[in-house]
């Protein structure tokens, strides 16, 4: 086991993906000589060359459009969108082409493209650098949408994404890039959880807390705080939003009878609404309270000095847990 930050775990996972497949390549703004703004690709261009770790122009639509062409010619591009809010110039390429090519060609063509997107807030950044657009992509059939929550998952999931034949939108919680965890870099992926499976991070009996990405650590902290009040929270890291591991969710909710969904994205139209609808439909007779959602307020992302009031925190999560016992 090696102790790695999340950013370093992604770096090691990308290195392994490049080593395992000569058709894999990395492309994006400043991913080469600079090593990415978060240093996720640090050192990879030096070791693999400019033909496999490519500094692109500042044109997200061009990055994804080029990646689609490369994938059609047998390559496996791994694209970096520098910040979440910068993905929108490439949105048309992603939802109109990348997501639909296999279906449109009756399975004859596949586009094994990974689109890495640092997402979420918590770093005091300026406008368009702290978005949470995951629901837009999860709403689009044809895309895998996944979010790593810690270094061990990041290391395995980026390799699994790069090795698959599906287009993958890979969300990375930027506020967690410097979190550390023990990572098994020697054992390979044989024991890794499948890419589309949720993980029961903390077993519990009283309330199911569903989360992903940057909120995984916050929810784990909520479980510790709630235990001091005698409440047992089961924390489930969803990991995959599309497809969603509904079976793991339903099994937990049927045991606990209560469910709270937590994400950084705004509550209105957020992915938590889809989960709440599914849980209500499938677990109705097991629920002791309505499914509650905790997320950001329905406003544009505020100036950085206000983001601590805007984003979900420990108190708002625990308040939702308390409210599930008030019904």
All structural domains of the chain:
2-183 (3.40.50.970), 199-324 (3.40.50.920)
| The pLDDT of residue 260 is above 90 | yes
CA distance 127 to 20: 38
pLDDT of residue 64: 98
Tens of pLDDT, residues 169-225 = 999 999 999 999 999 998 888 889 999 999 999 999 999 999 999 999 999 999 999
| Separation of alpha carbons 22 and 24, rounded Å | 5
Instruction: Establish whether 139 is a catalytic residue.
Output: no
pLDDT 10s digits, 11-61:
999 999 999 999 999 999 999 999 999 999 999 999 999 999 999 999 999
The candidate with the shortest Cα–Cα distance to 116, out of 83, 80, 165, 152, is 80
For residue range 70-99, list pLDDT tens digits in order. 999 999 999 999 999 999 999 999 999 999
Contact 218, 312 (CB under 8 A): yes
- Measured between alpha carbons, how far is 38 from 120 in angstroms, rounded to an integer? 14
Q: What is the pLDDT of residue 191?
A: 84
Confidence class for position 102, pLDDT limits 50, 70, 90: very high
pLDDT at 187: 80
**Pairing of β 199-202 and β 233-237:** antiparallel
C-alpha span between 28 and 115 (Å, rounded): 10
DSSP character for 24?
Answer: E
Which one is catalytic: 128, 129, 139, 263?
A: 129
**Mean pLDDT taken over the chain:** 97
Q: What is the 3-state secondary structure (H, E, C) of 210-251?
A: EECCCHHHHHHHHHHHHHCCCCCEEEEECCEEECCCHHHHHH
Average of per-residue pLDDT across 275-303:
97
pLDDT of the residue at 266: 97
Distances (CA, A) of 314 to 104, 262, 303, 318: 45, 11, 21, 6
Note the pLDDT of residue 1: 86
Identify the pLDDT of residue 245: 98
What value does the mean pLDDT take over residues 134-159?
97
Tell me the mean pLDDT in the region 228-234: 96
pLDDT at 327 over 90: no
């Amino acid at each position: 086991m090696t102790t790695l930050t999340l950013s370093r775990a992604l770096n090691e996972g990308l290195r392994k993906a490049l080593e395992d497949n000569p058709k894999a390549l990395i492309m994006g703004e400043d991913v080469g000589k600079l090593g990415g703004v978060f240093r996720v690709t640090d050192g990879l261009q030096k070791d693999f060359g400019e033909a496999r770790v490519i500094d692109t122009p500042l044109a997200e639509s061009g990055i994804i459009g080029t990646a689609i062409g490369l994938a059609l010619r047998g390559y496996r591009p791994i694209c970096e969108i520098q910040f979440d809010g910068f993905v929108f110039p490439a949105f048309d390429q992603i939802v109109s082409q990348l997501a639909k090519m296999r279906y449109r060609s009756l399975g004859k063509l596949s586009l094994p493209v990974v689109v890495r997107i640092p997402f979420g807030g918590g770093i005091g950044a300026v406008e368009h650098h702290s978005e949470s657009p995951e629901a837009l992509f999860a709403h689009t059939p044809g895309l895998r949408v996944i979010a790593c929550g810690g270094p061990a998952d990041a290391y395995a999931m980026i390799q699994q994404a790069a090795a698959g034949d599906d287009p993958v939108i890979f969300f990375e919680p930027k506020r967690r890039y410097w979190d550390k965890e023990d990572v098994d870099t020697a054992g390979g992926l044989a024991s890794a959880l499948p890419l589309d499976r949720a993980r029961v991070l903390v077993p519990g009996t009283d309330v199911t807390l569903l989360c992903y990405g940057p909120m995984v650590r916050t929810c784990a902290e909520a479980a510790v705080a709630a235990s001091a009040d005698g409440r047992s929270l089961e924390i489930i890291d969803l990991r995959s939003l599309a497809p969603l591991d509904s079976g793991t969710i339903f099994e937990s909710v049927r045991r606990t009878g209560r469910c709270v969904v937590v994400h950084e994205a705004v509550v209105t139209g957020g992915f938590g609404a889809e989960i709440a609808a599914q849980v209500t439909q499938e677990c109705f007779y097991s629920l002791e309270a309505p499914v509650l959602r905790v997320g950001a307020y329905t406003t544009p992302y505020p100036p950085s000095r206000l983001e601590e009031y805007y984003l979900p925190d420990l108190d708002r999560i625990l308040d939702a847990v308390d409210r599930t016992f008030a019904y």
